[in-house]
């Protein structure tokens, strides 16, 4: 899923819609910018469509056991969890699988907390969790937050300018009084990204 549109990228470039001969290249760079956004926000190379709202089936996670609260806590691979269809846990892959009733599972943001009928006292501090759920920020690009769409559009424009100029580190020459643009992520994009960064581990809770 792309996190911005060709029209919005052209608007950032101040290009009249339909006047660009590089639409195919821009579309490729929009996808590249979207995947870059996924990886920068999650910190892992294999994150794809992290922000897309969809049903996820049998995702395997590491859960943390809260012995005092009698709960199992996990963070599925979506920024917001809307609902949980099923959740089960086990110590090792060869051990018995224990299911938790949907009425004993709650979602709060990206966190899922399950309350088993009996606390898994024989387990270590962590366990294997298998979960099916619905999560994400938007099913289509129009459903995504406006600031995120804008940030990804700016990234796509930056990628386009780099491909257009072919310069290694920067665009522009200071000695010729030209404005210099570096390959660093623009401050506005970095500030927006801070809001959407995943704060917990991808493959572990910590």
pTM: 0.85
Token pair belonging to 97 = 């699988």
Residue 21 pLDDT greater than 90, yes or no: no
Q: What is the pLDDT of residues 135-162, one digit of tens each?
A: 999 999 999 999 999 999 999 988 888 7
Task: Look up the domain containing 175 and give its range.
Answer: 6-49+145-196
Asked if 39 and 60 sit in the same domain, the reply is no
Task: Give, in degrees to the nearest 5, the angle at Cα 110 between 104 and 116.
Answer: 20
Q: What is the pLDDT of residues 64-82, one digit of tens each?
A: 988 777 899 999 999 999 9
Q: What is the pLDDT of residues 161-204, one digit of tens each?
A: 877 766 555 555 555 555 455 667 788 899 999 999 999 999 87
| End-of-domain residue from the set 135, 159, 177 | 135
The answer to whether the beta carbons of residues 9 and 26 sit under 8 Å apart is yes
Cα gap 69→74, rounded to integer Å: 14
Asked if 89 and 109 sit in the same domain, the reply is yes
Phi, psi of 28 (to 5 degrees): -65, -40
């Amino acid at each position: 899923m792309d996190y911005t549109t060709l029209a919005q990228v052209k608007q950032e470039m101040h290009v009249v819609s339909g006047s660009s001969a590089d639409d195919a290249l821009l579309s490729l760079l929009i996808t590249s910018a979207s995947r870059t956004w996924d990886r920068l926000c999650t910190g892992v190379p294999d994150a794809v469509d992290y922000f897309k709202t969809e049903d996820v089936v049998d995702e395997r996670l590491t859960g943390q056991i809260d012995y005092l609260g009698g709960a199992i806590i996990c963070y599925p691979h979506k920024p917001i969890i809307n609902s949980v269809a099923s959740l089960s846990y086990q110590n090792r892959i060869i051990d018995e699988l224990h299911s938790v009733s949907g009425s004993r599972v709650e979602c709060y943001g990206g966190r899922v907390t399950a309350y088993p009928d009996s606390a898994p006292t024989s387990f270590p501090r962590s366990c294997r969790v298998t979960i099916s759920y619905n999560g994400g920020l938007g099913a289509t690009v129009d459903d995504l937050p406006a600031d995120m769409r804008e940030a990804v559009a700016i990234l796509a424009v930056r990628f386009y300018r780099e491909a257009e100029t072919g310069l290694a580190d920067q665009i522009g020459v200071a000695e010729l009084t030209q404005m210099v643009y570096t390959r660093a992520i623009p401050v506005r994009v970095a500030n927006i990204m801070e809001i959407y960064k995943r704060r917990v581990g991808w493959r572990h809770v910590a």
